[in-house]
Amino acid sequence: MRGRDPETGEFYSPSRTQQRIEALEIRSLAEKLVALPAAQLARLPIPEELRPHIVETQRITSHIAHKRQLQFLAKQMRREEDEVLEAIRDAMDEGGEAARRETALLHQAEQWRDRLLADGDDALAALLEEFPTANRQKLRQLVRNAVDEKTKNKPPRAFRELFREVRELLSSTDTPDDEAAAE
């Protein structure tokens, strides 16, 4: 039902270009959904009638058939309300934010580990000042073992364990601050 408003001369419905842009955005969203693992899909607010189409698209491996099924999935998604699609996009963006936070945490843990190995007791004192709940004895032993491994060209077992310990320490102290900020 496309036509012009007699008073303003504007079209009643979106232009074909706008419709095409919206269809391509929905197809892009469909591609992202198909690329997600089942565990992540389960957490998204996807309507039940779309789930079988997503699973079917993931199952198909033939290039042309996969492309055709992806187009069909996008067509089914275009039938959904805009609010439903926005909710899916928002939920996927939150997952992206969590991934960015996790990456930042890993980088921070790497920096602490490198600093502990380079500066020794001075870095350990700084870490313990910032994180008083840390196990001083275990961290000191891991640092000592990691330095010993490096000098003797041994496998980096303590090096990795030190990283895990620091990451665990950083993540355990991160969560209460995040919850306090949310309240």
Measured in degrees and rounded to the nearest 5, phi and psi for residue 26 equal -70, -40
Q: What percent of the chain has pLDDT over 90?
A: 44
Residue 3 has a pLDDT of: 60
pLDDT tens sequence across 152-173: 998 889 988 998 899 888 887 6
Q: Which residues contact 76 (CB under 8 A, 6 or more apart)?
A: 49, 50, 53
CA-CA distance, 16 to 25, in Å (whole number)?
14
Are the CB atoms for 44 and 88 separated by under 8 Å?
Answer: yes
Q: Is the pLDDT of residue 76 over 80?
A: yes
pLDDT, residue 95, reads: 61
- Concatenated DSSP letters for 23-79? HHHHHHHHHHHHHS-HHHHHHS---TTTHHHHHHHHH--SHHHHHHHHHHHHHHHHT
Q: Find the range with the poorest average confidence among 32-36, 94-98, 120-124, 146-150.
A: 94-98
What is the per-residue pLDDT across 85-134, written as a single tens digit (0 to 9) for each? 888 888 887 666 666 777 788 899 899 999 999 998 899 999 999 988 88
Instruction: Give the pLDDT score at 181.
Output: 41
pLDDT (mean) for 67-73: 96
Please give the mean pLDDT across all residues of the chain: 85
Q: How confident is the model at residue 27 (pLDDT cuts 50, 70, 90)?
A: very high
Nearest to 29 by CA among 53, 12, 65, 7: 53
Q: What pTM does this model have? A: 0.50
pLDDT over 70, % of the chain: 87
Burial 112-122 (b: 16+ CB within 10 A, else e): bbebbbeeeee
Q: Is residue 80's pLDDT more than 70?
A: yes
